[in-house]
Structure formats: C-alpha cells, structure tokens
Structure 1
C-alpha cells in the first residue's frame, strides 16, 4: 500500500486511490482560502486543488493538462490537480499559496504545516 507524506502526516492508502479524496479524508485541506468553498468538487475544471507531487502517480491526461495550461497555472511549474491524480506509489506532496495554488510561496510541505 502506498504512503503519502503531506502536511506533516504519513498516510497509507490503496493503490489507485484519488489523491484529493485521500488528503481530505485525512484532514489535509488541498484548497487555499475561499477555494475550500468555491471549487469544482473534484471534476478537474477549477484548478484550485493544484499541488506539487513527487512519487509514482497516474499520467497527466488531456483534461488536466488543458486546465493546467490556462492562467494562472503553467505546465512549467509541474503542479498536478490532486482531484485528477491516482496514487500508484509512495508520494510527497507540497501545497503552494494562491487561490489556485499557483504561487511560488509554500503553504505546507510534506514535513510540516507552515
């Protein structure tokens, strides 16, 4: 079973689990500010659950790639929409500031809440 390290927590989940749901189920908010209320609830259209992921996950598919190609996101930052990511192996997750998680300032790291 894969493990996810995020916001100072170590979580175990089933292979193929949805990253957004696993994080939310374990008390880790993938949204910043009002985005916790104003979001697409996991459909991949709003872009507010963007995180940086290191580890083995599903490939970037066209819908997620399209959303991450639109401002304020850029594909060059390498962020992923947690609602579109399937956990396939051990992960380390970092969340950044900004309504869409697009800023360069870290909101929380795998090791700690900031």
Structure 2
C-alpha cells in the first residue's frame, strides 16, 4: 500500500486511490479560503484542488491538463488536480496559496511546515 505524506501526516491508501478523496478523508485542508465551499466536488472543472505531487501517480488526464491550461493556472507549473490524480506509489504533497492553489507561497508542505508564510 502506498504512503501519502501531506500537511505533516503520513498515512496509507490503496493503490489507485483518488488523491483528493484520500486527503479529505484524513482531514487535510485541501482548499484555500472560500474554495472549501465553492468547488466542483471532484469532477475536474474548477481547479481549486491543485497541488504539487512528488512520487508515483497516474498520468495527467485531459481534464487535468485542460483545466490547468486555463487562467489563473499555468500549464508549465508542476501542479496536478488532486481530484484527477490516482496514487500509484508513495507520494509527497504540497499545497500553494491562491484561491485555485495556483500561487507561489506554500500553504503546507509534506512535513506540515509553511516556510513561505
């Protein structure tokens, strides 16, 4: 079973598990500000669940690529939509600021720190 490390927590999940669901089930605050209320609930259209993922995950699908190619996201950044990402091996997750998680400052890191704040 893969390990997920995010916001100072490390926990196991099933291989192929949806990253967004796994993070929310662990009580990790995935959304910034009002995005916790105003989001697409995992269908890949809003982009508010964007995170940096290091480790083995599924390839980026068309929903992920399309949404991250539109403002305020930047397709050249190494972010993923957690709702469109399956965990395939051990991963480390970082969340950035901005309503859509598109900012430059880290909100939380895998180890739980927010060194940019």
Aligned residue in 1 for 2:17 = 17
TM-score under structure 1 length normalisation: 0.98
Q: Deviations over 1:19-57 (max 9, x none)?
A: 000000001011000000000000000000000000000
Q: Deviations over 1:42-98 (max 9, x none)?
A: 000000000000000000111110000000001111100000000000000000000
Gaps of 5+ in 2: none
Aligned residue in 2 for 1:71 = 71
Provide the rounded CA distance (Å) in 1 between the counterparts of 2:113 and 2:41: 23
TM-score under structure 2 length normalisation: 0.95
Aligned residue in 2 for 1:62 = 62
> RMSD between aligned alpha carbons?
0.7
Aligned residue in 2 for 1:43 = 43
Q: Which runs of 4+ in 1 moved over 3 A?
A: none
Gaps of 5+ in 1: none
Aligned residue in 2 for 1:4 = 4
Kindly tell me the number of residue pairs found equivalent between the two proteins: 114
Provide the rounded CA distance (Å) in 2 between the counterparts of 1:93 and 1:20: 11
Provide the rounded CA distance (Å) in 1 between the counterparts of 2:77 and 2:108: 17
Provide the rounded CA distance (Å) in 2 between the counterparts of 1:81 and 1:108: 16
The offset of 1:11, in angstroms, is 1.1
